[in-house]
Amino acid sequence: MYSRPVLSFQHAFITGASAGIGRSLARLIAARGTRVVLSARREPELQALAEEIRRAGGTADVCPLDVADVAATQQAIAQWDKETGGLDLVIANAGVGITRPAHKLAWSDIEPVLRVNVIGAFATVHAAVQHMVPRGHGTIVGVSSLASMRGLPNSGAYAASKAAFATFLETLRADLQRKGITIVDVRPGFVDTAMTQPNKFKMPFLMHVDDAAKAALRGIDRGQAVVAFPWQLANAMSLAEGMPDRLWRTVATKVKM
Ligand SMILES: NC(=O)c1ccc[n+]([C@@H]2O[C@H](COP(=O)([O-])OP(=O)(O)OC[C@H]3O[C@@H](n4cnc5c(N)ncnc54)[C@H](OP(=O)(O)O)[C@@H]3O)[C@@H](O)[C@H]2O)c1
């Protein structure tokens, strides 16, 4: 089904590795022998994960970082690219969410979402491009969301931030596919992590975090352009994406989130 060979990685840098999908992905990647650089703001969580990986025989380093600090993000990726002898996998996974109707959103709700999900994610990916393109080799992964595919009710700035990231990844793919760089856009549906815990509505096809990480890694290994899961929600969002705007305006009012 896939024409591309399965990729293998030596040195990975993962943002948002202190919890949730990033932590689970880091464990899976490290278990296969890849040296992982674990990044997020909470250093104790990163140290605990690094210890766990080392005890299991893997190699892990920690890089405390707020991705919204662009200069620090550029510096961290440059430093670890040098220190590892060349990162061949960078995963921009760090993200924050907000579920609230537009009239109840304060600017203080919106701004952090843009800072982390747009500026932080773009800065991570941009820094990776600078180092990988001269070598003509590497895989860059962005974790966007199925929410990127259509304007959803109550999704505040979140769906828009993920749409921006997904479009950025798509344009990078167009520019870099002949330069040896693989760009993967991971689009999860609902995953049981700290991010979704405040949600009061019933989340359809809610996934266990380890299942989500496995699904993401399968697609990353294959160099898939878009890795969307679970399939039921991915298909529903593809349908929504293809819907005429006028029809979506009616459907969107009936979506319960
Ligand atoms: N859970 C879902 O249903 C779902 C669905 C679709 C997409 N996603 C996306 O998947 C990614 C991971 O989400 P998750 O569900 O695993 O959430 P999570 O459990 O809340 O983890 C979020 C991770 O991002 C890190 N992070 C947040 N702000 C950061 C910052 N300013 N700088 C650096 N790291 C930061 C957090 O670490 P620190 O707090 O230690 O910094 C944490 O490691 C996000 O991009 C999210 O939007 C999640």
Burial of 64 from C-beta contacts in 10 A (0-12 / 13-18 / 19+): middle
Residue 22 Cα to ligand 1 midpoint, Å, equals: 7
The per-residue pLDDT for range 246-256, each reduced to its tens digit, is 999 988 888 87
Q: Which residues are catalytic?
A: 158
The per-residue pLDDT for range 210-243, each reduced to its tens digit, is 999 999 999 999 999 999 999 999 999 999 999 9
Q: Is 62 in the pocket of ligand 1 (CB under 6 A)?
A: no
C-alpha angle with apex 35: 65 to 5, nearest 5 degrees? 115
pTM: 0.96
What are the sequence ranges of the domains in the chain?
A: 11-254
Q: Is 161 in the pocket of ligand 1 (CB under 6 A)?
A: no
The per-residue pLDDT for range 39-77, each reduced to its tens digit, is 999 999 999 999 999 999 999 999 999 999 999 999 999
What is the atom index within ligand 1 of the atom nearest the CA of 117?
45
DSSP state of 233: H
What is the atom index within ligand 1 of the atom nearest the CA of 24?
16
Q: Is 142 in the pocket of ligand 1 (CB under 6 A)?
A: no
Residue 16 Cα to ligand 1 midpoint, Å, equals: 5
197-203 own/partner pairs: CB under 8 Å, 24+ apart:
198/99, 199/99, 199/257, 201/256, 201/257, 202/256
The per-residue pLDDT for range 117-132, each reduced to its tens digit, is 999 999 999 999 999 9
Question: Class of 11-254 per CATH?
Answer: alpha beta
